[in-house]
Amino acid sequence: MKSLFLKLYKAQNEIELQSVIDSNPLFQDQSNWYPLGGNENNFATIENQQASAIGALIEKFTNSIDATLMKKCYELGIDPKSQDAPKTMQEAIEKFYSDKYLWLSSEYRKKQALDIQVIADGTTKLKHARTYDTSLTIYDNGEGQHPEDFETTFLSIGKGNKNDILFVQGKYNMGGTGAIVFCGKNRYQLIASKRHDGSSEFGFTLIQYLSQKSQAIIR
């Protein structure tokens, strides 16, 4: 599975990605594909989440910020849903990054910046095209998820997983899928994660949006 993930991750564009998918029997077996969110009629929800690719990208950053704050909370031994947890994002920042003077150091800011990254890759500009054939990776050093929990976290829709966590922004459990409709012509999205405390193995899932249904394949 590691070698398969690396092939998927290192594909510089969707043409290379499609080649990896077409050559692997795992993806040809239709029993390995499931409706995203467990709902075959999920297309209406997914297509109405974001009006633009920029908004969808911002939602990814929002989720990454939430994940890093959640990790900080766990590292302090605080249940994010408990009374001891911060009540607002501002309170969370003050609690988790209490020494504000550290931010005056450029080295400290650079170190913190590594926790959320946007990595652009891809081939050179396509012939006769006005845009570049680009692949984007959104990385965060946040709480992470157990692979066995992907279906109730990354791959769920409208579950309200964060409703009881007051210091995060993403409340409706839909933003993660808003980018799918902007993911090139074939609309693939690769998700990989493991729990921050080392309590789980690394896992990945591949999502493809197909006209009127979105499917996910689970490790």
How close are the terminal C-alpha atoms of the chain, in Å?
Answer: 8
Residue 217 clears pLDDT 60, i.e. is over it: no
Query: What percentage of the chain reaches a pLDDT higher than 90?
Result: 49
| Highest-scoring range by mean pLDDT, 41-55, 89-103, 192-206 | 192-206
* Top-ranked range on mean pLDDT: pick from 30-34, 100-104, 136-140: 136-140
Contact, 214 vs 177, CB < 8 A? Answer: yes
Over 90: is that where the pLDDT of 43 sits? no
Confidence of residue 89 (pLDDT cuts 50, 70, 90): very high
Strands 213-218 and 116-122: unpaired
Phi/psi at 104 (5° precision):
-75, -15
* 105-109: long-range pairs with CB below 8 Å, 24+: none
CB atoms within 10 A of CB 3: 7
pLDDT band at 132 (very low <50, low <70, confident <90, very high): low
Element (H, E) at 136: strand 134-140
Q: Are 81 and 165 in contact (CB under 8 A)?
A: yes
Q: Find out whether 165 and 87 touch, Cβ atoms under 8 Å.
A: no
Per CATH, domain 2-70+115-218 is 3.40.50: no
Predicted confidence (pLDDT) at residue 156 exceeds the cutoff of 90: no
pLDDT higher than threshold 90 for residue 20: yes
CA distance 172 to 46: 13
Write down the domain spans for the chain. 2-70+115-218
- Mode of pairing for the β-strands spanning 213-218 and 203-210: antiparallel
pLDDT at 41 over 80: no
Q: Given this model, what pLDDT does residue 216 score?
A: 59
- Average pLDDT rounded to a whole number, residues 100-105: 86
Predicted pLDDT at 17: 92
Distance CA 32, CA 75 (A): 36
